[in-house]
Amino acid sequence: MHRLETRKILVTGASRGIGAAITRRLLAAGSHVVAVARDFSDWAEHPPQLETITLDLSDLDRLPDQLGEITRTHTELDGLILNAGHGRFGSLEEFSYHQIREMVEINLLQHIYMARALTPHLKKQGHGDLIIIGSEAALSGGRKGAVYSACKFALRGLAQSLREECSQSGVRVSLINPGMVDTPFYDELDFAPGETPENHLRPEDVADAVEMVLQAHPGTVFDEINLNPLKKVIRFKK
């Protein structure tokens, strides 16, 4: 069993929302965290086991070199939590072609690049965890969610394939699919989850799932975890 206090884990989208909750949970458990996002100016705490890397994950031309630098610098990484993402919703024709491309870059392609760069290291090491934060939108499509859902469905395929590819090397791959979580994800959207505690997950609930996956017996894989608010309510903003 690789105890959390001995682990070094990279978390993308760690500056706020779900990624920040996961980061805080891992730091509290004693893990070393390499936190990736574009803007950490809201982070008040800077404990010694936290290292922040400011990176635009959707800059795919530069990403392979930047990831090469991360793998050279952080040779002890034994966990990768691919959480960064961005929500934009609307009928397909409301998206420009450029916006479609931006959505696919941040919600799918960067995940594939990250996994491409970092899983060889985990495999060589013979142990480690890759956790992808998917969504309920990875399981069923819905109105106004075509682009987002297409990316999340694809992440499910990525997780399932890598789960098979990596298991012989001792690396566990898991997909966590939350329903609506109360985070800044909704700040620029015209809807949000309902406000009562039964209507939304908390970012800490997703951190609970991550912690459970990481702390499972080394021979056990949570292939996929779906978690949802007790009562789904979508609140439309004026």
**Alpha-carbon distance 36 to 131, whole Å?**
15
Closest approach of Cβ 64 to ligand NAP, in Å?
15
Q: Is residue 86 near ligand NAP by the rule CB under 6 A?
A: yes
As to burial, measured by CB atoms within 10 angstroms (0-12 exposed, 13-18 middle, 19+ buried), residue 140 is exposed
**Options 97, 113, 148, 186, the catalytic residue:** 148
How many residues bind to ligand NAP according to rule CB under 6 A?
28
Of the two residues 2 and 74, which places its CB atom closer to ligand NAP in the complex? 74
Closest approach of Cβ 83 to ligand NAP, in Å?
5
Q: Is residue 19 near ligand NAP by the rule CB under 6 A?
A: yes
Determine contact, residues 135/175, Cβ cutoff 8 Å.
no
Q: Is residue 15 near ligand NAP by the rule CB under 6 A?
A: yes
Q: Is residue 57 near ligand NAP by the rule CB under 6 A?
A: yes
Closest approach of Cβ 101 to ligand NAP, in Å?
13
* Chosen residue from 68, 157, 184, 218 binding ligand NAP by CB under 6 A: 184
* Chosen residue from 27, 34, 37, 175 binding ligand NAP by CB under 6 A: 37
Closest approach of Cβ 129 to ligand NAP, in Å?
17
Pairing type for strands 234-236 and 191-193 reads antiparallel
Q: Is residue 106 near ligand NAP by the rule CB under 6 A?
A: yes
112 in helix, strand or coil?
helix
- DSSP string over 124-164: HHT-EEEEEE--GGGT---TT-HHHHHHHHHHHHHHHHHHH
Q: Is 113 a catalytic residue?
A: no
Q: Look-up: residue for tokens 């075509």?
A: 146
Q: 123 pairs with which residues across the strands?
A: none
Of the two residues 96 and 168, which places its CB atom closer to ligand NAP in the complex? 96
Of the two residues 110 and 119, which places its CB atom closer to ligand NAP in the complex? 110
Any idea what the Cα angle at residue 140 is, between residues 138 and 143, rounded to 5°?
110
Q: Is residue 235 near ligand NAP by the rule CB under 6 A?
A: no
Determine contact, residues 34/77, Cβ cutoff 8 Å.
yes
Closest approach of Cβ 75 to ligand NAP, in Å?
23
Sign of CA dihedral 30, 32, 37, 42: positive
Positions marked catalytic: 148
Residues at the contact surface with ligand NAP, assessed by CB under 6 A: 13-19, 37-39, 55-58, 83-87, 106, 133, 135, 178, 180-181, 183-185
